[in-house]
Amino acid sequence: MDNKATYSEIRRLAKEFKKTNDPRYSTAAIKGINFLINMQYSNGGWPQVYQSSGYHKHITYNDDAMINVMIMLDEVAARKGDFSFIDSTLANRSKNSVAKGVEAILNTQVVSGGKLTAWGQQHDSSSLKPASARIYEVPSLTAGESVTIVEFLKTRPANAKITASIKGAEDWFNKVKITGYKYERANGDSKIIADSKAAPIWARFYEMGTDKPIFIGRDGIVKYNLSEIDKERRGGYAWYGNWPSKL
């Protein structure tokens, strides 16, 4: 599912079938949908890569991979838009798959100090705890992908668990927002600059337990100041953003 793979191709196939009515496209789209459903773990999460190893087998929120699959399957379940050709059996399978995915989201939300907070970029498929991926992606809480998760939860029928999950995440976003600074990326580097008029920003990664922004270079060592990591990683990764502002 990394880099928008598979679900993007399924969408294109469904669109082509709607345009042409050529059954080759609908058959291929259905194969892809069934593949994604079969790829899902029994706990409701999706790995980045099917039957892989290392961090690719983690439940992957990074780059909104799992959520984008769920958004598509939600459309399949409703036979919405280009997916109007889907039969009731596959629509029901997709509906159940999305429901399981929501349970995985609720079960992976990190609790700290007795309070619901946010999610990691990826979670261990067995323990459900935030897990590491590339050397500069350590177990942590992430502001970016957690926003997309909350946006999806807001499309679900409300119940006590979902309402509590959304509130917990939004309270956490408010708690960890950074004011009085702006983030600039230019010329292969980035920095944070004091600016009393700047809109709030958030760090990409927060240390679990302390909620301190953290930064990691290719040495894998956690630092607490962006300036302390190597230039290549400072410029090659979005360390701050305004993601929660759209909530």
- Is 134 a catalytic site residue? yes
Q: For residues 86 and 230, what is the distance between their CA atoms, to the nearest angstrom? A: 50
Report how far apart, in Å, the C-alpha atoms of 126 and of each of 47, 62, 108 are.
Answer: 12, 18, 11
Q: For residues 241 and 192, what is the distance between their CA atoms, to the nearest angstrom? A: 11
Report how far apart, in Å, the C-alpha atoms of 68 and of each of 36, 154, 186, 189, 212 are.
Answer: 12, 15, 29, 30, 28
Question: Can you list the positions of beta strands (E) in 38-78?
Answer: 59-60
Q: For residues 187 and 185, what is the distance between their CA atoms, to the nearest angstrom? A: 7
Whether 58 and 48 have beta carbons less than 8 Å apart is answered as yes
**Distance between alpha carbon 68 and the CA centroid of its chain, in Å?**
8
208-215: list long-range contacts, CB under 8 Å, 24+ apart: 208/110, 208/112, 208/130, 208/139, 208/140, 208/141, 209/112, 211/112, 211/141, 211/172, 211/175, 211/176, 213/178, 214/138, 214/140, 215/239
Whether 47 and 24 have beta carbons less than 8 Å apart is answered as no
Q: CA angle, 156 as apex, 151 and 159 as ends, to 5°?
A: 115
Which is the catalytic residue, given 134, 159, 174, 218?
134
Give the active site residues.
3, 134
